[in-house]
Chains A and B, each alone.
Chain A
Amino acid sequence: MAIPLSYNFRNLVVRKTTTLMTAAGIAMTVAVLLAVLALVAGLQSAFDSTGDPLHVLVMRKGGNSELTSLLTQQQFQIVKIFPGIATGHDGQPLASLEVVSVINLPNADNPNGMNITLRGLATRGIEMRKLKLTAGRWFQPGQREVTVGKATAKRYPNAQLGKQLRFGKGLWTVVGIMDSGGGAVDSEIFGDGAQVASDFNRPDTYSSALLQATEEVTAAALKKSLEDDRRLNVTVMSEKEYYEAQTISARPVKFLGIFVCIIMAIGSCFAAMNTMYAAVARRAKEVGTLRILGFTRGSITLSFLIESLLLSLLGGLLACAITLPLNGVTTGMGNFVTFSETSFNFRVGPEVMAIGIVFSLILGALGGFLPARHAAKKEILAALRDV
């Protein structure tokens, strides 16, 4: 027969200081894990929400980054008439030749400046990306004007509406703020393609081309036919694939975070063990009584294990409560594909919290197992005689 759960509950309540302190120790460990997972989940969602399944990205052969890719006007003229590319309202193909570079902007976190992706493109590229303006207007062709992503505008004081940025060969005015709905474009700056290319001394060599296929099936065929074309010598990736590959940038932080968590977890396990051993020692007489009443060793082990699990569950819940305010906080992380920063929000979602709770339960089980066995192993008489 099992010992009722309320026995464990009451025991935890009676020793409320010890319970709370142990739970808080577990909570800190789990909170670190949750924070790291929330960060990774946030970055992942920023990249996942970028890219249209119909879009394909054309880059130089072997290229894996728009920044180091080269694509000439001539190549683009060949690319844009390939079969499988959708046409816009005006009957022209939905293809956008783009020049990508980075500019350096300072903010409070990075007084020495952080790299931001600058993308030069024509109106066609904006139309294809289905972007919304939240303030101001789009840049005008032939003008030194930029429209910035909303995350960039928020995080970089110099990139706010009406401000001027110095790069290329002059001053560029921020005329609008755009919103891609949480995607990577929110961390970019858009300007007129021809103007950017000329300011960066590359009037003919742009970086990449974005194409919109008629259907998802044609996207794959388009990729193949472009890559097979000997005149072009290009690599083609789906836009989704390209952005997904960038989540790799969270790896060092993930690695560091999990490494730290494991070490902290070992420490917390010892602490939980300590608390449970003390609980067992204090209740030696009770254990003896329970045995006399007919509870088996198994049910006593189980009972103490459950108590430890309850303790750690409390820790896990506390950890969720600690990390919840982090949800939605904006931060940025650079990556070595675009050589620039992508802003994203921490996401403390249900999956992240579930992992945290499971992790805390594992801690509780590991910390509670030995003391529980120790309690059950005691001889009845010895236990009753204990002072």
Chain B
Amino acid sequence: MFRYFSLAFKNSLRNRRRSALTISSIAVSLCLLGLLIAVYHALFYPEQTPSQALRLVVRHKVSLGQAIPRAYEEKIRHVPGVKEVTVWNWFGGSYKDARDPKNFFARMAVEPKPFFTLRSSLEMPEDERQAFIRDRQGAIVSKDLAEKLDFKVGQRITLVGDIYPINLDLHIVGIFDDPDAPLTMFFNWEYLSNALPVARRNFISIVAALADNPDDVPQIAKRIDDMFANSAYPTKTESEQQFALSFVGFLGNIKLFLLAICAAVTFTILLVSGNTMAMSVRERIKEVGVLKTLGFNNDSILGIIVGEAVSIAMIGGVLGLLFAFLMTAVVRKAAGSFMPQLHHLSITPLTALMALGVALLIGVVSSFIPAWNAARTNILDSLRYAG
């Protein structure tokens, strides 16, 4: 097959318009396929950052809407394998006009000191860290959020409570950079807690824990859940990543949706290139007769035709991946705000390999039947063939 590669390649240049159209069609489809595989990967098998792999999220078993006792924090701290814990409390509330979705961002009440231990990947100047620990009304915001809503250090903002019937006056004391926490504001749990009615102070929505070793995370989760299984407030403990994944389900059965589209795209390219190959081969049956007369055997003819299809498909595949690579940046920008998982969207080597594999498969499968038919036709018939 490879011996005749130059012939196969030259053949593909004969009808340039057709090859160009087929290559464009395959490139566009494979660009889409590459993107979809990348999205699937980002949503369901995200790469864990080293610091993320160490973190656990403990919440009420029934739903996030139900609180767990504050006392759980101390109990979790003493679970073997747990290094540090902090309150991680969803505040909700609204900033400015809540009807404008632009004003929505995550607002979490945390305990600053353990928080910094947990978030080892968080980057912020030391003086801002100290300010967050010191200032009870202090708040820190992620860099992307600061850019989006034009927050500056020193600014004062008000959050109007909803689940918590209180308003918070916060000072922005720092702007941090952390790939694991896009569009997020953290503020001091002390401040929220003291503003709450006494009965509610002792309840929190989430405890975040840091494990000593990423391998221990599943056991720690089990230990924590077992500890509270028979209490009035049973818990569900997950890795930070699983926790984030549980929100993806909100968008419907995305997994099935993505797989169905991938299948449809692959099938479409198969039809398109199969069709093109059938057309090219049909036009060249006479040539096949000539080749045979010259002494080419059936296998070489099969190889030449399949080789032509494969080279067209691979050129399309490589071009498609290049497009896909450019598109990831666009998708990251467009979709990252409502699906934080897509912040890390990229064409990984694995994704590229899978897309190219599909291209190769398409080249082979689409040309096999026409090629086989052509190779099988006997010399006289093919020479007589009128096209």
Q: Which residue of A is nearest B234, CB measured?
A: A166
- A171 interface hit (Cβ, 8 Å): no
Q: Indicate whether A253 sits within 8 Å of B165 (C-beta atoms), given known contacts A103-B62, A112-B242, A267-B268.
A: no
- A317 interface hit (Cβ, 8 Å): no
Give every chain A residue within 8 A of B62 (Cβ-Cβ): 103-104, 166-168
- A16 interface hit (Cβ, 8 Å): no
The residue among B25, B242, B274, B335 with the most chain A CB atoms within 10 A of its own CB is B25
- A29 interface hit (Cβ, 8 Å): yes
- B24 interface hit (Cβ, 8 Å): yes
Q: Which residue of A is nearest B93, CB measured?
A: A68
- A209 interface hit (Cβ, 8 Å): no
Q: Is there an interface contact between A260 and B261, defined as CB atoms closer than 8 Å?
A: yes
Q: Which of A119-127, A301-309, A331-339, A348-356 contacts B (4 or more CB under 8 A)?
A: A331-339
Q: Is there an interface contact between B268 and A25, defined as CB atoms closer than 8 Å?
A: yes
Q: Indicate whether A32 sits within 8 Å of B98 (C-beta atoms), given known contacts A101-B63, A101-B65.
A: no
Give every chain B residue within 8 A of A101 (Cβ-Cβ): 63, 65-66
Give every chain A residue within 8 A of B31 (Cβ-Cβ): 263
- A266 interface hit (Cβ, 8 Å): yes
Q: Indicate whether A331 sits within 8 Å of B260 (C-beta atoms), given known contacts A267-B25, A270-B24.
A: no
A16 to chain B: closest CB distance in Å? Answer: 12
Q: Is there an interface contact between B28 and A266, defined as CB atoms closer than 8 Å?
A: yes
Q: How far is the CA of A62 from the CA of B96 in the complex (A)?
A: 10
Q: How far is the CA of A170 from the CA of B31 in the complex (A)?
A: 52
A-B contact count (CB 8 A): 165
Q: Is there an interface contact between A102 and B261, defined as CB atoms closer than 8 Å?
A: no
Give every chain B residue within 8 A of A174 (Cβ-Cβ): none
- Prevailing SS type, chain B contact patch: helix
The residue among B62, B251, B257 with the most chain A CB atoms within 10 A of its own CB is B62
Q: Which residue of A is nearest B279, CB measured?
A: A278
Q: Is there an interface contact between B251 and A252, defined as CB atoms closer than 8 Å?
A: yes
Q: How far is the CA of A109 from the CA of B26 in the complex (A)?
A: 33
Q: Is there an interface contact between A112 and B249, defined as CB atoms closer than 8 Å?
A: yes
Q: Is there an interface contact between A64 and B98, defined as CB atoms closer than 8 Å?
A: yes
| Chain A proximity mask over B239-253: 1 for CB below 8 Å, otherwise 0 | 000100110011111
Q: Which residue of A is nearest B327, CB measured?
A: A263
Q: Is there an interface contact between B163 and A102, defined as CB atoms closer than 8 Å?
A: no
- B6 interface hit (Cβ, 8 Å): no
Give every chain A residue within 8 A of B272 (Cβ-Cβ): 21-22, 25, 267-268, 270-271, 274
| Chain B proximity mask over A14-36: 1 for CB below 8 Å, otherwise 0 | 00011001101100110110010
Give every chain B residue within 8 A of A333 (Cβ-Cβ): 250-252
B263 to chain A: closest CB distance in Å? Answer: 9
Sort chain A's interface into a size bin.
Answer: 35 or more
Give every chain A residue within 8 A of B162 (Cβ-Cβ): 60, 62-63, 68-70
Give every chain A residue within 8 A of B61 (Cβ-Cβ): 104
B363 to chain A: closest CB distance in Å? Answer: 16
Q: How far is the CA of A57 from the CA of B274 in the complex (A)?
A: 58
- Which residue in A17, A28, A103, A275 is a CB contact (below 8 Å) of B268? A28
| Chain A proximity mask over B250-294: 1 for CB below 8 Å, otherwise 0 | 111110110011001101110110111011000000000000000
Q: How far is the CA of A264 from the CA of B328 in the complex (A)?
A: 17
Give every chain A residue within 8 A of B268 (Cβ-Cβ): 25, 28-29, 264, 267-268, 271
| Chain B proximity mask over A110-121: 1 for CB below 8 Å, otherwise 0 | 101111000000
Q: Of residues 335 to 350 in B, which have CB atoms within 8 Å of A's CB atoms?
A: 335, 338-339
Q: Of residues 236 to 273 in A, which have CB atoms within 8 Å of B's CB atoms?
A: 249, 252-253, 255-256, 260, 263-264, 266-268, 270-271, 273
- B114 interface hit (Cβ, 8 Å): no
- B214 interface hit (Cβ, 8 Å): no
Q: Is there an interface contact between B249 and A67, defined as CB atoms closer than 8 Å?
A: no
Q: Which residue of B is nearest A23, CB measured?
A: B271
Q: Is there an interface contact between A334 and B252, defined as CB atoms closer than 8 Å?
A: yes
B284 to chain A: closest CB distance in Å? Answer: 13
A279 to chain B: closest CB distance in Å? Answer: 10
The residue among B163, B264, B274 with the most chain A CB atoms within 10 A of its own CB is B264
Q: Is there an interface contact between A70 and B165, defined as CB atoms closer than 8 Å?
A: yes
- A82 interface hit (Cβ, 8 Å): no
Give every chain B residue within 8 A of A102 (Cβ-Cβ): 63-65
Q: Is there an interface contact between A267 and B28, defined as CB atoms closer than 8 Å?
A: yes
- A277 interface hit (Cβ, 8 Å): yes
Give every chain B residue within 8 A of A332 (Cβ-Cβ): 252-253
Q: Is there an interface contact between A334 and B29, defined as CB atoms closer than 8 Å?
A: no
Q: How far is the CA of A102 from the CA of B31 in the complex (A)?
A: 40
Q: Which residue of B is nearest A282, CB measured?
A: B387
Q: Indicate whether A200 sits within 8 Å of B66 (C-beta atoms), given known contacts A18-B278, A253-B257, A270-B25.
A: yes
17 contacts between A and B (CB under 8 A): A25-B271, A28-B271, A29-B264, A39-B252, A103-B62, A104-B63, A112-B245, A112-B246, A200-B66, A252-B338, A253-B251, A253-B254, A270-B21, A270-B22, A274-B275, A275-B279, A277-B18
Taking Cβ atoms with an 8 Å cutoff, the residues of B that contact A are: 17-18, 21-22, 24-26, 28-29, 31-32, 36, 61-67, 92, 94, 98-99, 160, 162-163, 165, 203, 232, 242, 245-246, 249-254, 256-257, 260-261, 264-265, 267-269, 271-272, 274-276, 278-279, 335, 338-339, 387
The 5 closest A-B pairs by CB, nearest first: A334-B250, A270-B25, A333-B252, A68-B162, A271-B272
Given A28-B268, A252-B251, A253-B254, 17 extra CB contacts under 8 A: A18-B275, A28-B264, A32-B261, A35-B260, A60-B162, A62-B160, A63-B162, A110-B249, A112-B242, A260-B32, A267-B29, A270-B22, A271-B271, A271-B275, A274-B25, A274-B272, A277-B17
